[in-house]
Amino acid sequence: IPPSRPGAGQDVGRSCILVSIGGKNVMLDCGMHMGFNDDRRFPDFSYITRNGRLTDFLDCVIISHFHLDHCGALPYFSEMVGYDGPIYMTHPTQAICPILLEDYRKIAVDKKGEANFFTSQMIKDCMKKVVAVHLHQTVQVDDELEIKAYYAGHVLGAAMFQIKVGSESVVYTGDYNMTPDRHLGAAWIDKCRPNLLITESTYATTIRDSKRCRERDFLKKVHEAVERGGKVLIPVFALGRAQELCILLETFWERMNLKAPIYFSTGLTEKANHYYKLFITWTNQKIRKTFVQRNMFEFKHIKAFDRAFADNPGPMVVFATPGMLHAGQSLQIFRKWAGNEKNMVIMPGYCVQGTVGHKILSGQRKLEMEGRQVLEVKMQVEYMSFSAHADAKGIMQLVGQAEPENVLLVHGEAKKMEFLKQKIEQEFRVNCYMPANGETVTLPTSPSIPVGISLGLLKREMAQGLLPDAKKPRLLHGTLIMKDSNFRLVSSEQALKELGLAEHQLRFTCRVHLHDPRKEQETALRVYSHLKSVLKDHCVQHLPDGSVTVESILIQAAAHSEDPGTKVLLVSWTYQDEELGSYLTSLLKKGLPQAAS
């Protein structure tokens, strides 16, 4: 299995992995890099196939979840580069993915005025090629290739995929989360023992604290600010964390009977929330169990935001996009509220350098806005990290659950991965790889080949042995017939019959020189009595013609032509009695006991 990667080996963003397994080529994820605005943002698809059509080369494409770094290049790939094969993703991903792509396209084309970008129609066309899969549903892509999705947490609809060809299998995790949060459960996989586990390793060197402390801190801060009468701004990206925080605040409001309004900035979100409502089965236990009474995503306290609300008096909490305060609504609100020390802004995630979010987090209190305005930030600035990736312990836990033969780390920083790699090799004693972008890793597999065995033979062999012991290998005699790529183990008689061959007898003969001055007859007799005494549980016979037989082995004594003092013992046995025959020869070579009787 050589997986290679046009993108996302050892960096975050632009996930795209190519796996060849058992002669099948599968592309895992088709992400883009958010940091670039030129060609580099998409993976280099020409890498996959130098010439020829992609459709012929790739058997299928699998998308793990709807984040743009995992699906952003999909329309480009399918429509502009040209791929007509099937694309697999889960139902929620299929539903939410086009919304995000469209949004992304709008920003790129309408705002930045880029040409040569995919169009809305392309997104639609692309989505038509998508085949949606259910969790734990085994989908036969073709006769040999099958895929199966497992729950991955992370975001709504995120899945891990097992790709299987024959007895070889690969598990690709995408992004996953081993600790459940307020709206999603934890990733889970059975002991599928794949040949290779491809896992993300964003937090390769981190072990996180209990999420409860984080949640409590967050709630306490919000609560205190609201009780003071302040306004709380939480800049978020529209999907994923935002919903978790919404649920968190919603339940808290419900529990504590709070009355201050919570707003959610409109747009993308409403549609997305709608999907969260629909895909209840993909959420965590609490939401699934209580949705009979009330769907948790039908928020009681959270209402849609209107621009005018920002000036309303009294406390309120507003979720606004985008998450890094670099533009849009969140920035507008921030500017309005920054001057009041009662107010608070909570940054729920990482901020890229250069954004307002990053500036205020690093403690800057005076910001220069466009038009040479200086904005003094008096409001409280808080940072809360809510991340939905598995930490080092979680990754190890998943590796332990799946029990793979090899592990391959992607989607992380090289230095950190090195540490995790060491740990995995040490704890599980499996090989671990961490290829760079574009690097190909080839893994030899030892495929197990099923062999049919005839019942008669099995029973016969079983009868010979003692009790069957599941854990110990057993020796079995039979003939292996390979015929039209299937294997059968049959007894030798049947094999002969089937192949129409006559049985050949293979006989070994061996001469043993024996120093014995007596007559041949007597020698034979001595040999007989000797063997009789040694081989107690074999049938030793002395035939009238002077020869001795042990089972089917024939021993004849003859005088040596030159030296009458030595006798030549002729030992002859068939191939089947090889064991006994060689034992006999060695026994006879030692000579007869000198007990003259």
Partner 1 sequence: MAAHLKKRVYEEFTKVVQQEEIATKKLRLTKPSKSAALHIDLCKATSPADALQYLLQFARKPVEAESVEGVVRILLEHYYKENDPSVRLKIASLLGLLSKTAGFSPDCIMDDAINILQNEKSHQVLAQLLDTLLAIGTKLPENQAIQMRLVDVACKHLTDTSHGVRNKCLQLLGNLGSLEKSVTKDGEGLAVRDVQKIIGDYFSDQDPRVRTAAIKAMLQLHERGLKLHQTIYNQACKLLSDDYEQVRSAAVQLIWVVSQLYPESIVPIPSSNEEIRLVDDAFGKICHMVSDGSWVVRVQAAKLLGSMEQVSSHFLEQTLDKKLMSDLRRKRTAHERAKELYSSGEFSSGRKWGDDAPKEEIDTGAVNLIESGACGAFVHGLEDEMYEVRIAAVEALCMLAQSSPSFAEKCLDFLVDMFNDEIEEVRLQSIHTMRKISNNITLREDQLDTVLAVLEDSSRDIREALHELLCCTNVSTKEGIHLALVELLKNLTKYPTDRDSIWKCLKFLGSRHPTLVLPLVPELLSTHPFFDTAEPDMDDPAYIAVLVLIFNAAKTCPTMPALFSDHTFRHYAYLRDSLSHLVPALRLPGRKLVSSAVSANITPHEDPSHQFLQQSLERVYSLQHLDPQGAQELLELTIRDLQRLGELQSELAGVADFSATYLRCQLLLIKALQEKLWNVAAPLYLKQSDLASAAAKQIMEETYKMEFMYSGVENKQVVIIHHMRLQAKALQLIVTARTTRGVDPLFGMCEKFLQEVDFFQRCFIADLPHLQDSFVDKLLDLMPRLMTSKPVEVVKIVQTMLRQSTFLHLPLPEQIHKASATIIEPAGESDNPLRFTSGLVVALDVDATLEHVQDPQNTVKVQVLYPDGQAQMIHPKPADFRNPGPGRHRLITQVYLSHTAWTEPCQVEVRLLLAYNSNSRLPKSPWIEGGEVSPQVETSIEGTIPFSKSVKVYIMPKPARR
Q: Which residues are catalytic?
A: 200
Residues binding partner 1: number (CB under 8 A): 56
- Tell me if 291 contacts partner 1 by CB under 8 A: no
In the complex, minimum distance from the CB of residue 399 to partner 1, in angstroms, rounded to a whole number: 9
- Tell me if 347 contacts partner 1 by CB under 8 A: yes
* Stretch 163-182 residues interacting with partner 1 (CB under 8 A): 179-180, 182
Can you tell me which of 51, 140, 210, 373 binds partner 1, judged by CB under 8 A? 210
Per-residue x/- track, 480-519, partner 1 (CB under 8 A): ----------------------------------------
- Tell me if 411 contacts partner 1 by CB under 8 A: no
- Tell me if 270 contacts partner 1 by CB under 8 A: no
- 3-state class of 589 per DSSP? helix
Per-residue x/- track, 385-404, partner 1 (CB under 8 A): -------xx--xx--xx---
Q: Given the DSSP bridges, would you call strands 87-90 and 130-133 parallel, antiparallel or unpaired?
A: parallel
Contact 379, 343 (CB under 8 A): yes
Read off the tokens for 217.
Answer: 């801190």
Can you tell me which of 470, 501, 595, 596 binds partner 1, judged by CB under 8 A? 470
- Tell me if 215 contacts partner 1 by CB under 8 A: yes
Alpha-carbon distance of 356 to 335, in angstroms, equals 11
Residue with Cβ nearer partner 1 (276 or 305): 276
* Amino acid residing at 354: G
Q: Which stretch binds partner 1 (CB under 8 A): 66-74, 96-104, 203-211, 314-322?
A: 203-211
Alpha-carbon distance of 208 to 306, in angstroms, equals 37
Alpha-carbon distance of 206 to 226, in angstroms, equals 33
Q: Which residue has the tokens 């992304």?
A: 104
Q: Which stretch binds partner 1 (CB under 8 A): 92-100, 219-227, 297-305, 528-536?
A: 219-227
* Stretch 4-23 residues interacting with partner 1 (CB under 8 A): none
- Tell me if 474 contacts partner 1 by CB under 8 A: no
Q: Which stretch binds partner 1 (CB under 8 A): 1-9, 24-32, 355-363, 531-539?
A: 355-363
In the complex, minimum distance from the CB of residue 308 to partner 1, in angstroms, rounded to a whole number: 30
Residue 418: CB atoms within 10 A of its CB come to 16
- Tell me if 246 contacts partner 1 by CB under 8 A: no
Q: Which stretch binds partner 1 (CB under 8 A): 37-45, 194-202, 465-473, 493-501?
A: 465-473
According to DSSP, residue 178 is labeled S
Alpha-carbon distance of 404 to 419, in angstroms, equals 19
**Helix spans in 347-453 (H):** 356-361, 392-402, 414-428
Can you tell me which of 121, 422, 440, 464 binds partner 1, judged by CB under 8 A? 422
Give the CA distances from residue 3 to residues 20, 25, 342, 428, 453, in Å, rounded to whole numbers and listed in that order: 6, 9, 54, 22, 35
- Tell me if 416 contacts partner 1 by CB under 8 A: yes
Alpha-carbon distance of 478 to 493, in angstroms, equals 9
In the complex, minimum distance from the CB of residue 185 to partner 1, in angstroms, rounded to a whole number: 5
Beta bridge partners of 135: 149
- Tell me if 473 contacts partner 1 by CB under 8 A: no
- Tell me if 256 contacts partner 1 by CB under 8 A: yes
Alpha-carbon distance of 456 to 23, in angstroms, equals 36
At residue 197, φ and ψ (nearest 5 deg) are: -115, 120
Q: Which stretch binds partner 1 (CB under 8 A): 64-72, 163-171, 188-196, 269-277?
A: 188-196
At residue 226, φ and ψ (nearest 5 deg) are: -70, -40
Q: Given the DSSP bridges, would you call strands 486-490 and 553-559 parallel, antiparallel or unpaired?
A: unpaired
Query: For the residues of 539-553, what is the DSSP string, one character each?
Result: -EEE-TTS-EEETTE
Residue 194: CB atoms within 10 A of its CB come to 22
Can you tell me which of 173, 382, 434, 553 binds partner 1, judged by CB under 8 A? 382
Can you tell me which of 335, 423, 460, 560 binds partner 1, judged by CB under 8 A? 423
According to DSSP, residue 203 is labeled B
Peptide bond into 322 cis (omega under 30): yes
- Tell me if 467 contacts partner 1 by CB under 8 A: yes
- Tell me if 454 contacts partner 1 by CB under 8 A: no
Residues near partner 1, by CB under 8 A: 179-180, 182, 185-186, 188-191, 205-217, 219-220, 223, 251, 254-257, 284-286, 347, 361-363, 380-383, 392-393, 396-397, 400-401, 416, 419, 422-423, 427, 467, 469-471
